[in-house]
Amino acid sequence: MTRFTNIQHSRRHVLQAVGAAAAAVALPRFAWAQGAYKAEYRMSTVVPPAFAWGKGGEIFGNLVRERTAGRINIKQYPGASLVQGDQTRELSAMRQGIIDVLCGAPINWAGTARELGVFTLPFMFPDHKAWDAVTGNAAFMAEYFDLVRKAGAEPLAVGETGFRQISNSKRPLIKPDDLKGLKVRVVGSPMYGEIMNSMGANPTFMSWADAQPALASGAVDSQENPLEVFLAARVHTLGQRYVTKWNYSNDILLFGIANPVWQSWTAADQRIVREAAQDAAKQQVELVRKLFAEDVQRVSALGVQVHQPTPAESNEWQIATRRAYARWKVQINPGMVAKAEEIIAKVKRA
């Protein structure tokens, strides 16, 4: 045996010994951790409870507090304030222990866990029926939830952030060419940037906190968000006069708990928290859908011109984004996107 392998050998021995010692102390510490609940569990939401999305977080926190008699106290931090407003850092902050509870859109975490973006491809879902078929497919969601666990969180339930619609200060957007030269604020998802680029727009990546002053000052001309966000944030007061309700992307709202926090709770509490998230998600989806049904009327009443594309126009938008779709399907998760496509095709045929 050479000297070199000898050293390797003894090093392995030392590592084994250290490992065994760690395991010996880990067991009682883990048992202790099960009883050690924190006084407060921090939940990040990008927007506050005046928005359906933030409301979902509020309902969840309240249900958990009531049903655990205050044992689990979830405090909501809206405005993504735990990450200084930079919503793209939510998932990495959760991994670092800064955030305990997620109630957010995976599109914001594209830089940390791109594979979670399977719901956000352009014009993937023709309607809510298709969206429901995918998010309600047990096998599909089991696979997705495994990805969430690998990303560091126990997934509990899925709400809906809402179909995203584009607005701008300059002109009605009827066909892809109309986007040429517009400065469009998008969230920190490179895919959204590419979608805008493919139609000749100039995308800029910005947090929601930065987007509002940028719209107000005219530094950007355009943004895209569900109309319930447009209404709650009063985006029409930021110079946005034209809306196209093109339904181009509809992310889930993921309710999840950081893995180590999840493991520190008793099985009984885990069950309570999971059910609370499912109940909150159900209420949140109902709220988003109710707001979706009335949004054209409410946005129009503010003096904003709302365009609802005809099927032929929708087809044009879809064609313009087809390459971006194909490229990002491969980069996000080709297998899962293909499964979603199959589920959607079946719904369309039915």
Which residue matches tokens 């709220």?
287
Least separation in angstroms between CB 200 and ligand X2X: 21
Q: Report d(CA 65, CA 273) in Å as an integer.
A: 9
Cβ neighbourhood burial of 153 (10 Å; 0-12, 13-18, 19+): buried
**Strand locations in 60-139, DSSP E?**
74-77, 101-104
* By CB under 6 A, residue 187 contacts ligand X2X: yes
| Cβ-based nearer residue to ligand X2X, 64 or 107 | 107
Nearer to ligand X2X, 83 or 261 (CB): 83
In the complex, least distance from residue 287 CB atom to ligand X2X, rounded to whole angstroms? 16
Q: Are strands 202-205 and 252-258 parallel, antiparallel or unpaired?
A: unpaired
Site for ligand X2X in 35-54 (CB under 6 A): 46-47
Asked if 87 is part of the footprint of ligand X2X (rule: CB under 6 A), the reply reads yes
Q: Is 264 in the site for ligand X2X (CB under 6 A)?
A: no
Residue closer to ligand X2X (CB basis): 133 or 304:
304
Q: Does 233 bind ligand X2X (CB under 6 A)?
A: no
Indicate the burial class of 296 (C-beta count within 10 angstroms; 0-12, 13-18, 19 or more): middle
d(CA 158, CA 56): 10
Question: Could you give the dihedral angle defined by the CA atoms of residues 308, 310, 316 and 318, in that order, rounded to the nearest 10 degrees?
Answer: 70
- The minimum distance between CB 187 and ligand X2X, in angstroms, equals 4
Site map (CB under 6 A) of ligand X2X, residues 266-305, x = contact: ----------------------------------------
Contact region for ligand X2X (CB under 6 A) — 103-111, 128-136, 144-152, 311-319? 103-111
Stretch that binds ligand X2X, among 104-112, 297-305, 322-330, 333-341 (CB under 6 A): 104-112
CB of 170 to ligand X2X, least distance (A): 19
Binding residue for ligand X2X (CB under 6 A) from 102, 105, 148, 158? 105
Q: Stretches 102-110, 119-127, 255-263, 314-322: which one binds ligand X2X (CB under 6 A)?
A: 102-110
| Token pair in block for residue 74 | 């979830």
Q: Given the DSSP bridges, would you call strands 41-44 and 101-104 parallel, antiparallel or unpaired? A: parallel
Angle, CA of 307, 312 and 317, to the nearest 5° = 70
Q: Which strand ranges, in their side-by-side order, compose the sheet holding 252-258?
A: 74-77, 41-44, 101-104, 252-258, 153-160
Residue span binding ligand X2X (CB under 6 A) among the ranges 95-103, 105-113, 175-183, 288-296: 105-113
Would you count residue 249 as binding ligand X2X (CB under 6 A)?
Answer: no
Q: Measured from the CB atom, is 47 or 273 closer to ligand X2X?
A: 47
- When binding is defined by CB under 6 A, the residue of 135, 225, 250, 321 that contacts ligand X2X is 225
Q: Write phi, then psi, for 312 (nearest 5 degrees).
A: -65, -40
| Contacting residue, 44, 68, 88, 108, with ligand X2X by CB under 6 A | 108
CB of 38 to ligand X2X, least distance (A): 26
190-211 as b/e, with b when 16 or more CB fall inside 10 Å? Answer: bbbbbbbebbebbbbbbbbebb
235 lines the binding site for ligand X2X (CB under 6 A): no
Residue whose C-alpha is closest to residue 176's, from 158, 157, 152, 201: 201
Q: How many residues does the chain have?
A: 350
For 223, the enclosing helix (H) or strand (E) is strand 222-225
Contact between 208 and ligand X2X by CB under 6 A: the answer reads: yes
Question: Applying CB under 6 A, which residues contact ligand X2X?
Answer: 46-47, 87, 105, 107-108, 187, 208, 225, 229
